Amino acid sequence: MSALDSRTDEELMNLCVEGSEEAFAELVKRYKPRIVSVIYRYINDPIRAQEIAQEVFVRVFVHREKYRRTARFSTWIFTIALNLTKNEIRHRVRHSRVMSIEALKEMGSSVGFFLRDRSRGPDEKVEERELQEVVGSAIAELPTKYRDAVILRDIEGLSYEEVGEILSIPGGTVRSRINRGRLILKKRLEPYVS
Amino acid sequence: MKCNTVRELFSVSFDGELSVAEEREFKSHVSSCHACSREFDVFSKSVQLVNSLSKPQVNPFFDARLKQAISDRQAAPLGERSSVFVLRPAFAFAAVAVLVSLLLLVPPGQINLNNRLSTSELAPSPEMSEVGGAPVDPLALTQRVTVPGSYDANQLSQEVETAWSTRDARVASSYGSIGTTVPAGYDLANAKGAVLEVEFVLDPFFMEGTEVRRLETASAPEVEPELVSMTF
Protein backbone atom coordinates (compact mmCIF):
# COMPACT_ATOMS: atom_id res chain seq x y z
CA MET A 1 0.00 0.00 0.00
CA SER A 2 1.51 3.28 -1.09
CA ALA A 3 1.27 6.56 0.80
CA LEU A 4 -1.09 7.84 -1.88
CA ASP A 5 -3.71 5.14 -1.34
CA SER A 6 -5.15 6.89 1.66
CA ARG A 7 -5.33 10.31 0.03
CA THR A 8 -8.65 11.70 -1.15
CA ASP A 9 -9.18 12.36 -4.84
CA GLU A 10 -9.01 16.08 -4.21
CA GLU A 11 -5.72 15.78 -2.34
CA LEU A 12 -4.30 13.73 -5.18
CA MET A 13 -5.45 16.28 -7.73
CA ASN A 14 -3.85 19.06 -5.71
CA LEU A 15 -0.60 17.08 -5.70
CA CYS A 16 -1.02 16.55 -9.42
CA VAL A 17 -1.41 20.29 -9.93
CA GLU A 18 1.86 20.69 -8.08
CA GLY A 19 3.49 18.28 -10.53
CA SER A 20 3.21 14.86 -8.92
CA GLU A 21 2.98 12.22 -11.63
CA GLU A 22 2.50 9.54 -8.97
CA ALA A 23 -0.64 11.30 -7.76
CA PHE A 24 -1.95 11.43 -11.32
CA ALA A 25 -1.19 7.73 -11.78
CA GLU A 26 -3.17 6.97 -8.63
CA LEU A 27 -6.15 8.96 -9.95
CA VAL A 28 -5.94 7.09 -13.24
CA LYS A 29 -5.91 3.81 -11.33
CA ARG A 30 -8.99 4.80 -9.34
CA TYR A 31 -11.03 6.22 -12.16
CA LYS A 32 -10.15 4.43 -15.38
CA PRO A 33 -12.61 1.53 -14.95
CA ARG A 34 -15.42 3.94 -14.09
CA ILE A 35 -14.69 6.36 -16.90
CA VAL A 36 -14.36 3.59 -19.49
CA SER A 37 -17.60 2.07 -18.19
CA VAL A 38 -19.67 5.24 -18.35
CA ILE A 39 -18.46 6.07 -21.85
CA TYR A 40 -19.06 2.51 -23.00
CA ARG A 41 -22.63 2.68 -21.74
CA TYR A 42 -23.26 5.63 -24.03
CA ILE A 43 -21.54 4.46 -27.18
CA ASN A 44 -21.51 0.66 -26.80
CA ASP A 45 -18.09 0.44 -28.40
CA PRO A 46 -15.45 -0.84 -25.98
CA ILE A 47 -12.45 0.10 -28.11
CA ARG A 48 -13.60 3.65 -28.77
CA ALA A 49 -14.62 3.94 -25.11
CA GLN A 50 -11.00 3.28 -24.12
CA GLU A 51 -9.77 5.91 -26.57
CA ILE A 52 -12.18 8.53 -25.29
CA ALA A 53 -11.34 7.62 -21.69
CA GLN A 54 -7.70 8.14 -22.56
CA GLU A 55 -8.54 11.58 -23.92
CA VAL A 56 -10.38 12.34 -20.67
CA PHE A 57 -7.23 11.65 -18.66
CA VAL A 58 -5.06 13.54 -21.11
CA ARG A 59 -7.30 16.53 -20.57
CA VAL A 60 -7.25 16.15 -16.82
CA PHE A 61 -3.46 16.18 -16.90
CA VAL A 62 -2.94 18.86 -19.52
CA HIS A 63 -5.52 21.15 -17.90
CA ARG A 64 -4.76 20.21 -14.32
CA GLU A 65 -4.07 23.79 -13.37
CA LYS A 66 -7.65 24.68 -14.24
CA TYR A 67 -8.99 22.33 -11.61
CA ARG A 68 -10.75 24.31 -8.91
CA ARG A 69 -9.47 23.15 -5.59
CA THR A 70 -12.88 23.51 -3.99
CA ALA A 71 -14.60 21.29 -6.54
CA ARG A 72 -15.15 17.60 -6.15
CA PHE A 73 -12.77 15.71 -8.44
CA SER A 74 -15.34 13.06 -9.36
CA THR A 75 -17.81 15.60 -10.71
CA TRP A 76 -15.06 17.34 -12.66
CA ILE A 77 -13.79 14.22 -14.39
CA PHE A 78 -17.26 12.83 -15.11
CA THR A 79 -18.27 16.16 -16.61
CA ILE A 80 -15.28 15.95 -18.94
CA ALA A 81 -16.14 12.35 -19.80
CA LEU A 82 -19.75 13.22 -20.58
CA ASN A 83 -18.79 16.17 -22.75
CA LEU A 84 -16.32 14.16 -24.78
CA THR A 85 -18.76 11.29 -25.12
CA LYS A 86 -21.47 13.60 -26.38
CA ASN A 87 -19.02 15.04 -28.88
CA GLU A 88 -18.43 11.49 -30.09
CA ILE A 89 -22.15 10.86 -30.42
CA ARG A 90 -22.59 14.10 -32.35
CA HIS A 91 -19.71 13.08 -34.60
CA ARG A 92 -21.27 9.68 -35.23
CA VAL A 93 -24.66 11.16 -35.96
CA ARG A 94 -23.18 13.72 -38.32
CA HIS A 95 -21.24 11.12 -40.22
CA SER A 96 -23.83 8.39 -40.28
CA ARG A 97 -26.57 10.23 -42.10
CA VAL A 98 -28.42 13.51 -42.16
CA MET A 99 -30.34 13.25 -38.92
CA SER A 100 -33.40 15.28 -39.60
CA ILE A 101 -36.06 15.35 -36.95
CA GLU A 102 -38.38 13.53 -39.32
CA ALA A 103 -35.80 10.84 -39.87
CA LEU A 104 -35.36 10.51 -36.13
CA LYS A 105 -39.09 10.16 -35.69
CA GLU A 106 -39.16 7.47 -38.34
CA MET A 107 -36.34 5.69 -36.61
CA GLY A 108 -38.32 5.90 -33.40
CA SER A 109 -36.88 3.82 -30.68
CA SER A 110 -34.23 2.23 -32.83
CA VAL A 111 -31.77 5.09 -32.42
CA GLY A 112 -29.38 2.61 -30.88
CA PHE A 113 -28.67 1.13 -34.29
CA PHE A 114 -25.37 2.89 -34.60
CA LEU A 115 -24.45 2.11 -31.04
CA ARG A 116 -24.64 -1.64 -31.35
CA ASP A 117 -21.71 -3.53 -29.97
CA ARG A 118 -20.33 -6.07 -32.41
CA SER A 119 -17.16 -6.78 -30.53
CA ARG A 120 -18.32 -9.47 -28.14
CA GLY A 121 -16.90 -12.90 -28.59
CA PRO A 122 -18.82 -16.13 -28.98
CA ASP A 123 -17.84 -17.41 -25.55
CA GLU A 124 -20.47 -15.56 -23.60
CA LYS A 125 -23.69 -17.33 -22.85
CA VAL A 126 -26.28 -16.39 -25.38
CA GLU A 127 -29.01 -15.66 -22.85
CA GLU A 128 -26.83 -13.45 -20.73
CA ARG A 129 -25.58 -11.64 -23.78
CA GLU A 130 -29.09 -11.08 -25.03
CA LEU A 131 -30.21 -9.79 -21.66
CA GLN A 132 -27.25 -7.43 -21.54
CA GLU A 133 -28.15 -6.20 -25.00
CA VAL A 134 -31.77 -5.67 -24.01
CA VAL A 135 -30.76 -3.67 -20.95
CA GLY A 136 -28.10 -1.77 -22.89
CA SER A 137 -30.56 -0.90 -25.65
CA ALA A 138 -33.20 0.14 -23.13
CA ILE A 139 -30.72 2.55 -21.59
CA ALA A 140 -29.54 3.82 -24.99
CA GLU A 141 -33.12 4.54 -25.99
CA LEU A 142 -33.95 6.61 -22.93
CA PRO A 143 -34.50 10.31 -23.59
CA THR A 144 -31.14 12.02 -23.11
CA LYS A 145 -31.92 13.81 -19.88
CA TYR A 146 -33.10 10.63 -18.20
CA ARG A 147 -30.28 8.56 -19.67
CA ASP A 148 -27.63 10.89 -18.26
CA ALA A 149 -29.10 10.68 -14.79
CA VAL A 150 -29.65 6.91 -14.86
CA ILE A 151 -26.18 6.12 -16.20
CA LEU A 152 -24.47 8.27 -13.61
CA ARG A 153 -26.57 6.88 -10.80
CA ASP A 154 -27.08 3.24 -11.73
CA ILE A 155 -24.03 2.42 -13.80
CA GLU A 156 -21.51 4.53 -11.92
CA GLY A 157 -23.19 4.59 -8.53
CA LEU A 158 -22.74 8.32 -8.06
CA SER A 159 -24.72 10.07 -5.35
CA TYR A 160 -27.72 12.25 -6.17
CA GLU A 161 -25.64 15.25 -5.22
CA GLU A 162 -22.82 14.30 -7.59
CA VAL A 163 -25.28 13.66 -10.41
CA GLY A 164 -26.76 17.12 -9.82
CA GLU A 165 -23.35 18.76 -9.90
CA ILE A 166 -22.29 17.00 -13.10
CA LEU A 167 -25.52 17.74 -14.93
CA SER A 168 -25.88 21.21 -13.39
CA ILE A 169 -29.41 20.52 -12.19
CA PRO A 170 -30.97 20.97 -8.74
CA GLY A 171 -31.64 18.10 -6.34
CA GLY A 172 -35.37 17.89 -7.04
CA THR A 173 -34.72 17.58 -10.77
CA VAL A 174 -32.13 14.86 -10.14
CA ARG A 175 -34.66 12.85 -8.16
CA SER A 176 -37.35 13.24 -10.75
CA ARG A 177 -35.08 12.41 -13.70
CA ILE A 178 -33.68 9.32 -12.06
CA ASN A 179 -37.17 8.15 -11.11
CA ARG A 180 -38.68 8.79 -14.52
CA GLY A 181 -35.76 7.16 -16.29
CA ARG A 182 -36.03 4.12 -14.09
CA LEU A 183 -39.80 3.92 -14.58
CA ILE A 184 -39.27 3.88 -18.35
CA LEU A 185 -36.68 1.14 -17.93
CA LYS A 186 -39.01 -0.79 -15.65
CA LYS A 187 -41.64 -0.80 -18.36
CA ARG A 188 -39.13 -2.07 -20.93
CA LEU A 189 -37.52 -4.64 -18.65
CA GLU A 190 -40.64 -5.93 -16.92
CA PRO A 191 -40.87 -9.09 -19.08
CA TYR A 192 -37.32 -9.97 -18.07
CA VAL A 193 -37.66 -9.46 -14.32
CA SER A 194 -41.18 -10.73 -13.63
CA MET B 1 -50.09 8.85 0.72
CA LYS B 2 -51.67 8.23 -2.69
CA CYS B 3 -50.45 5.71 -5.27
CA ASN B 4 -49.16 8.41 -7.64
CA THR B 5 -47.16 10.05 -4.87
CA VAL B 6 -45.74 6.70 -3.83
CA ARG B 7 -44.60 5.95 -7.37
CA GLU B 8 -42.85 9.29 -7.55
CA LEU B 9 -40.88 8.15 -4.53
CA PHE B 10 -39.85 4.72 -5.83
CA SER B 11 -36.29 5.80 -6.61
CA VAL B 12 -35.57 7.74 -3.47
CA SER B 13 -36.95 4.90 -1.37
CA PHE B 14 -34.93 2.32 -3.31
CA ASP B 15 -31.80 4.44 -2.78
CA GLY B 16 -32.55 5.04 0.89
CA GLU B 17 -32.85 8.78 0.38
CA LEU B 18 -36.20 9.25 2.11
CA SER B 19 -36.49 10.78 5.55
CA VAL B 20 -37.49 8.43 8.35
CA ALA B 21 -41.03 9.80 8.41
CA GLU B 22 -41.42 9.59 4.62
CA GLU B 23 -40.03 6.08 4.57
CA ARG B 24 -42.49 4.98 7.25
CA GLU B 25 -45.39 6.42 5.28
CA PHE B 26 -44.09 4.92 2.04
CA LYS B 27 -43.75 1.44 3.53
CA SER B 28 -47.13 1.67 5.15
CA HIS B 29 -48.76 2.36 1.78
CA VAL B 30 -46.79 -0.25 -0.14
CA SER B 31 -47.56 -2.95 2.40
CA SER B 32 -51.28 -2.28 2.15
CA CYS B 33 -51.55 -1.61 -1.61
CA HIS B 34 -51.12 -4.70 -3.75
CA ALA B 35 -50.67 -2.74 -7.00
CA CYS B 36 -47.94 -0.47 -5.59
CA SER B 37 -46.28 -3.40 -3.87
CA ARG B 38 -46.03 -5.28 -7.18
CA GLU B 39 -44.91 -2.17 -9.06
CA PHE B 40 -42.20 -1.46 -6.52
CA ASP B 41 -41.03 -5.06 -6.68
CA VAL B 42 -40.66 -4.95 -10.49
CA PHE B 43 -39.11 -1.50 -10.23
CA SER B 44 -36.48 -2.71 -7.75
CA LYS B 45 -35.64 -5.76 -9.83
CA SER B 46 -35.24 -3.72 -13.00
CA VAL B 47 -32.90 -1.28 -11.23
CA GLN B 48 -30.89 -4.22 -9.90
CA LEU B 49 -30.72 -5.61 -13.43
CA VAL B 50 -29.31 -2.30 -14.68
CA ASN B 51 -26.86 -2.24 -11.75
CA SER B 52 -25.66 -5.72 -12.69
CA LEU B 53 -24.69 -4.82 -16.24
CA SER B 54 -21.22 -6.10 -16.98
CA LYS B 55 -18.49 -3.52 -17.28
CA PRO B 56 -15.91 -3.51 -20.03
CA GLN B 57 -12.41 -4.60 -19.17
CA VAL B 58 -9.83 -1.87 -19.27
CA ASN B 59 -7.16 -2.50 -21.86
CA PRO B 60 -3.95 -3.67 -20.13
CA PHE B 61 -2.00 -1.18 -22.22
CA PHE B 62 -4.23 1.71 -21.16
CA ASP B 63 -1.64 3.30 -18.85
CA ALA B 64 1.20 2.98 -21.35
CA ARG B 65 -0.91 4.49 -24.13
CA LEU B 66 -2.05 7.29 -21.86
CA LYS B 67 1.52 8.13 -20.94
CA GLN B 68 2.44 8.23 -24.61
CA ALA B 69 -0.60 10.36 -25.47
CA ILE B 70 0.26 12.87 -22.78
CA SER B 71 3.84 13.22 -23.88
CA ASP B 72 2.72 13.54 -27.52
CA ARG B 73 0.24 16.23 -26.53
CA GLN B 74 2.79 18.13 -24.53
CA ALA B 75 5.35 17.90 -27.32
CA ALA B 76 2.99 19.17 -30.01
CA PRO B 77 2.73 22.93 -30.42
CA LEU B 78 -0.84 24.18 -30.03
CA GLY B 79 -1.24 24.87 -33.72
CA GLU B 80 -0.32 21.31 -34.67
CA ARG B 81 -2.77 19.60 -32.39
CA SER B 82 -5.14 17.84 -34.65
CA SER B 83 -7.55 16.34 -32.19
CA VAL B 84 -11.09 17.28 -32.97
CA PHE B 85 -11.62 17.77 -29.28
CA VAL B 86 -8.97 20.44 -29.19
CA LEU B 87 -10.05 22.19 -32.33
CA ARG B 88 -13.77 22.22 -31.72
CA PRO B 89 -13.94 25.16 -29.32
CA ALA B 90 -11.74 27.18 -31.61
CA PHE B 91 -14.20 26.54 -34.42
CA ALA B 92 -17.05 27.50 -32.18
CA PHE B 93 -15.42 30.79 -31.32
CA ALA B 94 -14.56 31.35 -34.95
CA ALA B 95 -18.17 30.79 -35.85
CA VAL B 96 -19.30 33.32 -33.26
CA ALA B 97 -16.73 35.80 -34.53
CA VAL B 98 -17.84 35.19 -38.08
CA LEU B 99 -21.46 35.82 -37.23
CA VAL B 100 -20.55 39.10 -35.62
CA SER B 101 -18.35 40.05 -38.59
CA LEU B 102 -21.04 39.07 -41.03
CA LEU B 103 -23.60 41.27 -39.37
CA LEU B 104 -21.17 44.16 -39.07
CA LEU B 105 -20.09 43.88 -42.69
CA VAL B 106 -23.58 44.12 -44.07
CA PRO B 107 -24.51 47.75 -44.71
CA PRO B 108 -27.31 48.76 -42.34
CA GLY B 109 -29.61 49.66 -45.19
CA GLN B 110 -29.45 46.15 -46.53
CA ILE B 111 -30.29 44.43 -43.31
CA ASN B 112 -33.74 43.00 -43.16
CA LEU B 113 -35.22 44.92 -40.27
CA ASN B 114 -37.37 41.98 -39.43
CA ASN B 115 -34.24 40.22 -38.31
CA ARG B 116 -33.94 41.77 -34.90
CA LEU B 117 -30.55 41.14 -33.41
CA SER B 118 -30.29 40.71 -29.71
CA THR B 119 -27.79 39.09 -27.46
CA SER B 120 -28.20 36.99 -24.43
CA GLU B 121 -25.72 35.22 -22.29
CA LEU B 122 -24.82 31.76 -23.39
CA ALA B 123 -24.28 29.50 -20.45
CA PRO B 124 -25.83 26.33 -19.09
CA SER B 125 -29.07 27.83 -17.88
CA PRO B 126 -32.77 26.95 -17.83
CA GLU B 127 -33.60 29.20 -20.75
CA MET B 128 -31.08 27.29 -22.85
CA SER B 129 -32.76 24.01 -22.18
CA GLU B 130 -34.92 24.48 -25.22
CA VAL B 131 -34.20 25.91 -28.61
CA GLY B 132 -36.94 25.91 -31.18
CA GLY B 133 -39.07 23.80 -28.88
CA ALA B 134 -36.58 20.93 -28.84
CA PRO B 135 -34.37 20.01 -25.91
CA VAL B 136 -30.68 20.74 -26.30
CA ASP B 137 -27.67 19.96 -24.25
CA PRO B 138 -26.56 22.91 -22.10
CA LEU B 139 -23.14 22.80 -23.69
CA ALA B 140 -24.35 22.84 -27.24
CA LEU B 141 -26.60 25.11 -29.18
CA THR B 142 -27.91 25.24 -32.65
CA GLN B 143 -28.05 28.69 -34.00
CA ARG B 144 -30.05 29.91 -36.93
CA VAL B 145 -28.90 32.91 -38.82
CA THR B 146 -30.94 34.57 -41.47
CA VAL B 147 -28.73 35.70 -44.29
CA PRO B 148 -29.93 39.14 -45.33
CA GLY B 149 -31.88 39.36 -48.55
CA SER B 150 -29.17 41.27 -50.38
CA TYR B 151 -25.63 42.20 -49.67
CA ASP B 152 -22.34 42.50 -51.45
CA ALA B 153 -20.61 39.15 -51.36
CA ASN B 154 -17.28 40.90 -51.90
CA GLN B 155 -17.57 42.32 -48.45
CA LEU B 156 -17.33 38.91 -46.91
CA SER B 157 -13.89 37.91 -45.79
CA GLN B 158 -12.21 34.60 -46.45
CA GLU B 159 -12.61 33.90 -42.77
CA VAL B 160 -16.35 33.82 -43.20
CA GLU B 161 -16.25 31.10 -45.83
CA THR B 162 -13.78 29.03 -43.86
CA ALA B 163 -15.77 29.13 -40.72
CA TRP B 164 -19.07 28.41 -42.36
CA SER B 165 -17.76 25.41 -44.15
CA THR B 166 -15.86 24.20 -41.13
CA ARG B 167 -18.97 24.15 -39.03
CA ASP B 168 -20.96 22.19 -41.58
CA ALA B 169 -23.70 24.75 -41.58
CA ARG B 170 -26.90 23.38 -42.97
CA VAL B 171 -29.49 25.17 -45.03
CA ALA B 172 -32.68 25.09 -43.09
CA SER B 173 -35.23 27.06 -44.99
CA SER B 174 -37.62 26.65 -47.82
CA TYR B 175 -35.00 28.43 -49.96
CA GLY B 176 -32.65 25.50 -49.74
CA SER B 177 -32.88 21.80 -49.36
CA ILE B 178 -33.51 21.04 -45.76
CA GLY B 179 -30.63 19.15 -44.25
CA THR B 180 -28.20 20.08 -47.01
CA THR B 181 -24.66 20.39 -45.76
CA VAL B 182 -23.03 23.59 -46.87
CA PRO B 183 -19.84 22.49 -48.61
CA ALA B 184 -16.41 24.00 -48.22
CA GLY B 185 -16.08 27.28 -50.07
CA TYR B 186 -19.84 27.70 -50.14
CA ASP B 187 -20.76 30.89 -51.88
CA LEU B 188 -22.75 32.84 -49.35
CA ALA B 189 -23.92 35.21 -52.07
CA ASN B 190 -26.08 32.40 -53.39
CA ALA B 191 -27.60 31.84 -49.99
CA LYS B 192 -29.67 34.96 -50.40
CA GLY B 193 -32.61 34.85 -48.07
CA ALA B 194 -31.69 31.46 -46.69
CA VAL B 195 -31.70 30.58 -43.06
CA LEU B 196 -28.51 28.88 -42.08
CA GLU B 197 -27.96 26.83 -39.03
CA VAL B 198 -24.68 26.62 -37.21
CA GLU B 199 -23.94 24.47 -34.26
CA PHE B 200 -21.85 25.80 -31.41
CA VAL B 201 -20.14 23.37 -29.15
CA LEU B 202 -18.81 24.77 -25.95
CA ASP B 203 -16.02 23.35 -23.93
CA PRO B 204 -15.79 24.12 -20.24
CA PHE B 205 -12.01 24.28 -20.41
CA PHE B 206 -12.04 27.01 -22.95
CA MET B 207 -15.09 28.73 -21.58
CA GLU B 208 -13.74 29.25 -18.13
CA GLY B 209 -13.72 32.92 -17.27
CA THR B 210 -14.94 33.83 -20.69
CA GLU B 211 -18.16 35.61 -21.29
CA VAL B 212 -19.78 34.10 -24.30
CA ARG B 213 -22.79 35.63 -25.87
CA ARG B 214 -25.31 34.18 -28.17
CA LEU B 215 -26.62 35.99 -31.19
CA GLU B 216 -30.30 35.64 -31.81
CA THR B 217 -32.02 36.60 -34.98
CA ALA B 218 -35.69 36.44 -35.52
CA SER B 219 -36.53 34.63 -38.71
CA ALA B 220 -37.64 36.54 -41.74
CA PRO B 221 -41.45 36.63 -41.89
CA GLU B 222 -41.64 34.57 -45.06
CA VAL B 223 -39.36 31.88 -43.69
CA GLU B 224 -40.62 29.28 -41.31
CA PRO B 225 -37.57 28.04 -39.40
CA GLU B 226 -37.41 24.33 -38.96
CA LEU B 227 -35.34 22.29 -36.62
CA VAL B 228 -33.24 20.13 -38.85
CA SER B 229 -30.81 18.51 -36.53
CA MET B 230 -30.83 16.86 -33.21
CA THR B 231 -28.45 17.97 -30.53
CA PHE B 232 -27.54 15.52 -27.83
To test the contact with chain A by mutation, choose from B70, B73, B165, B227 the residue with the greatest count of A C-beta atoms within 10 A, namely: B70
CATH T-level assignment (fold) for domain A8-113: Rna Polymerase Sigma Factor; Chain: A (1.10.1740)
At residue B71, does pLDDT exceed 80? yes
For residue B171, give the amino acid letter: V
Burial class (CB in 10 A: 0-12, 13-18, 19+), A148: buried
Model ipTM over 0.90: no
Domain boundaries, chain A: 8-113, 120-194
CB pairs under 8 A between A and B: 149
For residue A56, give the amino acid letter: V
The number of CA neighbours under 13 Å toward the Cβ of A134 is 18
Least confident interval from A13-22, B14-23, B149-158: B149-158
| pTM of the predicted protein model | 0.57
Write out pLDDT tens, residues A37-83.
999 888 878 888 999 999 999 999 988 888 877 678 898 899 899 88
Answer for the pair A166, A191: CB distance below 8 angstroms, yes or no: no
At residue B165, does pLDDT exceed 60? no
Answer for the pair B38, A190: CB distance below 8 angstroms, yes or no: no
To test the contact with chain B by mutation, choose from A42, A52, A58 the residue with the greatest count of B C-beta atoms within 10 A, namely: A58
Nearest CA in chain A to B125: A168
Which neighbouring-strand residues pair with B120? B214
- For A120-194, CATH number? 1.10.10.10
The rounded mean pLDDT for chain A is 80
